[in-house]
């Protein structure tokens, strides 16, 4: 509506400039404005032009430092990447049917509850790859999820740094007001990897990182085939035949998040209340941005109107 008013005023302004002499004759019929010796009209013209200059100055400052006006309204929704740990330890069966399959079940359930959001999947072990880019097509998402098989990954450890970097690379940064969420599903085995710097970097960029554990503190051996063979510690004696026991490390899981807490495969639905609160926060930003746009538009309108009126506040010659 403001844009229409501004266009109309500009057209009227141009028409009156073209017909300035005729307008002056009409304007001079008013006693206050027709007297060339009357200082009131000069003061009024100075006052109106001061308002216009001040309003234009405020608008320039807002454009320069806050950039609150944009051609498109801010988009606000949930953008979630699931980082699915596909390392060797996710084959353990202390959580049935396996840690990996349980993680897939959790992702499928959360995807249903987050219907309408943009969801993506990045499985990772010692490398990370986007299997499903962000999409709001739930059926496509679920189909791709069902096709992910841990047998396609080697018996390697998990690189959380590579997974987080891949997620950051895959988000659409044009959606500046979007709630960018990363949900890591892992067994919580501490691999001694250094990744705190990238967690800190993502937190500063307003990413929110959640973590869901699909392991147990008791732990379990890591199967390497269907014949009952388990992954063994290469440093142990060849006569020990003792498999590696993969266990959940709570402090390690906490370090993976921006919330200083993690969820388990038993209470993972509690994560939804946190995600919904992020969406509410984003809606507040959207509302604030809309109010700022309206204020700036009104200031521009005031500047044009004031300058427009001052043009005719001139004593008749």
pLDDT at 15: 60
Question: Does any domain span residue 316?
Answer: no
Compute the distance between CA of residue 210 and CA of residue 107 in angstroms, rounded to an integer: 13
Residues 84 and 198 in one domain: yes
Q: Pick the more confident residue, 6 or 113.
A: 113
Q: What's the pLDDT score for residue 301?
A: 76
**Residue 249 falls inside a structural domain:** yes
pLDDT number for residue 205: 87
Tokens linked to 78: 């949930």
Task: Measure Cα distances from 199 to 55, 89, 120, 170, 258 in Å.
Answer: 43, 23, 19, 16, 7
Find the radius of gyration of the CA atoms of the chain: 32
How open is the CA angle 67-69-75, to the nearest 5 degrees?
A: 100
Does the residue 115 lie in any domain?
yes
Quick check: 283 pLDDT over 60? Answer: no
* Domain identity same for 60 and 94: no
**pLDDT-derived band at 20, boundaries 50, 70, 90:** low
In a domain, 235, yes or no: no
Is the domain of 143 the same as that of 214? yes
Residue 152 pLDDT exceeds 70: yes
Mark whether 111 and 132 lie in a shared domain.
Answer: yes
Is residue 12 included in any domain, yes or no?
yes
- Span 186-206, pLDDT tens digits: 999 987 888 889 999 999 888
CATH number reported for the structural domain that contains residue 257 in this entry: 3.40.50.410
- For the chain, how many structural domains are there in total? 2
Q: Count of residues for the chain?
A: 317
Tell me what the mean pLDDT of segment 59-81 comes to: 59
- Are residue 149 and residue 191 in the same domain, yes or no? yes
Residue 271 counted as domain residue: no
Residues 258, 201, single domain; the answer is yes
Q: Which of left, alpha, beta for 280 (phi over 0: left; psi -120 to 50: alpha)?
A: alpha
Q: Which residue has the higher pLDDT, 224 or 120?
A: 120
Query: 205: burial class by Cβ within 10 Å (0-12, 13-18, 19+)?
Result: exposed
Q: How confident is the model at residue 78 (pLDDT cuts 50, 70, 90)?
A: confident
On whether the CB atoms of residues 104 and 84 are closer than 8 A, the answer is: yes
Residue 246: per-residue pLDDT: 93
Is 258 found in the same domain as 120? yes
pTM confidence score: 0.66
What pLDDT sits at residue 193?
82
Do both 206 and 146 map to the same domain? yes
Is pLDDT larger for residue 252 or for residue 313? 252
Is there a single domain that holds both residue 126 and residue 257? yes
- Claim to verify: residue 92 and residue 30 sit in the same structural domain: no
Q: Is residue 228 one of the residues assigned to a domain?
A: no
Q: Lowest-pLDDT range, 35-39, 65-69, 137-141, 260-264?
A: 65-69
Mean pLDDT of the chain: 79
pLDDT for 75 equals 47
CB 117 within 8 A of CB 179: no
What value, to the nearest 5°, has the Cα angle with vertex 274 and ends 282 and 272?
A: 110
161 and 298, same domain (yes or no): no
Considering only residues 35 and 91, tell me which one the structure prediction assigns the higher pLDDT.
91
**113 and 193 housed in the same domain:** yes
Least confident of 184-188, 283-287, 311-315: 283-287
Boundaries of domain holding 62: 2-67+288-310
Q: What is the mean pLDDT of residues 233-242?
A: 62
Which pair of structure tokens corresponds to residue 100? Answer: 């990996």
> Is residue 158 in a domain?
yes
């Amino acid at each position: 509506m403001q844009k229409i008013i501004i266009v109309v005023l500009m057209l009227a302004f141009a028409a009156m400039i073209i017909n300035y002499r005729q307008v002056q004759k009409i304007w001079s019929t008013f006693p206050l404005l027709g007297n060339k010796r009357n200082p009131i009209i000069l003061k009024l013209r100075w006052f109106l032009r001061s308002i216009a200059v001040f309003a234009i100055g405020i608008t320039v400052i807002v454009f320069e430092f806050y950039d609150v006006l944009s051609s498109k309204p801010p988009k606000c929704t949930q953008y979630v990447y699931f980082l699915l740990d596909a390392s060797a330890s996710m084959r353990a069966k202390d959580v049935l049917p396996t840690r990996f399959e349980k993680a897939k079940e959790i992702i499928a359930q959360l995807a249903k509850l987050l219907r309408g959001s943009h969801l993506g999947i990045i499985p990772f072990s010692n490398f990370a790859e986007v299997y499903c880019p962000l999409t709001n097509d739930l059926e496509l998402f679920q189909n791709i999820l069902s096709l992910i098989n841990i047998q396609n990954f080697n018996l390697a450890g998990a690189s959380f740094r590579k997974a987080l970097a891949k997620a950051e690379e895959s988000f659409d940064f044009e959606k500046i007001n979007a709630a960018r969420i990363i949900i890591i599903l892992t067994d919580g085995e501490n691999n001694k990897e250094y990744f705190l710097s990238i967690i800190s970097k993502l937190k500063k960029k307003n990413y929110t990182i959640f973590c869901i554990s699909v392991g147990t503190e008791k732990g379990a051996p890591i199967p390497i085939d269907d014949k009952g063979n388990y992954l063994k510690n290469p440093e142990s004696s060849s006569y020990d035949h003792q498999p590696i026991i993969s266990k959940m490390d709570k402090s390690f899981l906490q370090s993976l998040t921006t919330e200083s807490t993690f969820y388990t495969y038993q209470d993972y639905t509690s994560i939804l209340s946190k995600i919904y609160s992020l969406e509410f926060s984003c809606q507040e930003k959207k509302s604030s941005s809309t109010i700022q746009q309206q204020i700036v538009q009104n200031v521009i309108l005031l500047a044009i109107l004031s300058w427009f009126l001052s043009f005719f506040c001139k004593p008749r010659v």
